[in-house]
Amino acid sequence: MKRVIIATRNKGKVAEFEQLFSKKGIEVQSLLDYNECPDVEETGATFAENAILKAKTIAQHLKETVIADDSGLIVDALGGRPGVYSARYAGEAKDDQANIQKVLQELEGVPFEKRTARFHCTLAVATPDGRTFTVDGTCEGYITEKPIGTNGFGYDPIFYVPEKQKTMAQLTKEEKNEISHRANALKRLEQIWDEAFVKES
Ligand SMILES: O=c1nc[nH]c2c1ncn2[C@H]1C[C@H](O)[C@@H](COP(=O)(O)OP(=O)(O)OP(=O)(O)O)O1
Ligand SMILES: [Mg+2]
C-alpha cells in the first residue's frame, strides 16, 4: 500500500490527513509512529519557514520524503494574531482551551462583522536530499463569542464557517475536509503531486 509520512505529533491533524488520504488509498504515518524523531523547535517567522524547518529536519532524520503542516488562526481585529504563534498563544503548554479564552478575551466588545478571521495552512514537502517546496491553503470565517461544538481540535469551537452556518467544531471530519485550510492546501499539493513523496511500503 502507498503511504505518506506527515511530520506532526498533533492528533487532530493526523485524523484529518487520514481521512483525506484514505480516499486515495494512501496510508498516513506520523511522528506518533516514529517516536524517536526529535521535536522541532518552531523558530521561523512565517508558516512557510516553520513548515520547512519541520519537514527538513524529519526528512533528514528518517531519510524519507515527508510532509509537514504549519498552521494557525489569523484574526483581523487582532492585527493577524495569533498567527504563527497560534499553538503557544497562551503559553508554552499548548493548551487549546487557554488559547481560545485568550482570543475571546481580546475580542471582547468587537461586533460580529468585525470578527473576521481565517485559518492558514502551509504544507512543506522535504526530500532526504534536502529539496523542499511549499503550498498554502486558507479558510475564511468569523470568531464566535463563545465556544460551540466539540469536534475537531485547536480553535475549531470559536471559528464560524458562513457557508456551513456552523462552527468548525460542529462539522464532521468529512464536512471540515470539504472546506478547511488543510484540505485546500492539500488540493494545491495534488496539483504538483510527485511520486517522490509517495512510496510503496
Ligand atoms: O484545523 C484547525 N482547527 C483548529 N485549530 C487549528 C487548525 N489548524 C491549526 N490550528 C491551530 C492549532 C494550533 O494552535 C496551531 C497549529 O500549530 P502548529 O505548530 O502548526 O501545530 P502543532 O504544534 O499542534 O503540531 P505540529 O507542529 O507537530 O504539527 O493552529
Ligand atoms: Mg507546532
What's the pTM value of the predicted model, to 2 decimals? 0.95
Domain containing 169 equals 2-200
Residues within a 6 A CB radius of ligand 1: 8-10, 13, 42, 69-73, 86-87, 99, 119, 152-156, 168, 180, 182
**Ligand 2 geometric centre to CA of 85 (Å):** 9
CATH number reported for the structural domain that contains residue 188 in this entry: 3.90.950.10
pLDDT for 197 beyond 60? no
- Mean pLDDT score, 125-133: 94
- Number of domains, the chain: 1
Please indicate if the annotation marks 176 as binding a ligand: yes
Question: For residue 54, which atom of ligand 1 is closest to its CA?
Answer: 27
| Closest ligand by atom to 147 CA | 1
- Which residue's CA lies nearest to atom 14 of ligand 1? 87
70 is catalytic: yes
Asked whether the beta carbons of 126 and 65 are under 8 A apart, the reply is yes
- DSSP for 44-105 reads -SSHHHHHHHHHHHHHHHHTS-EEEEEEEEEEGGGTT-BGGGGGGTT-TT--HHHHHHHHHH
pLDDT digits 0-9 by tens, 96-128: 999 999 999 999 999 999 999 999 999 999 999
- Which residue's CA lies nearest to atom 22 of ligand 1? 10
pLDDT for 68 beyond 90? yes
* pLDDT of res. 192: 82
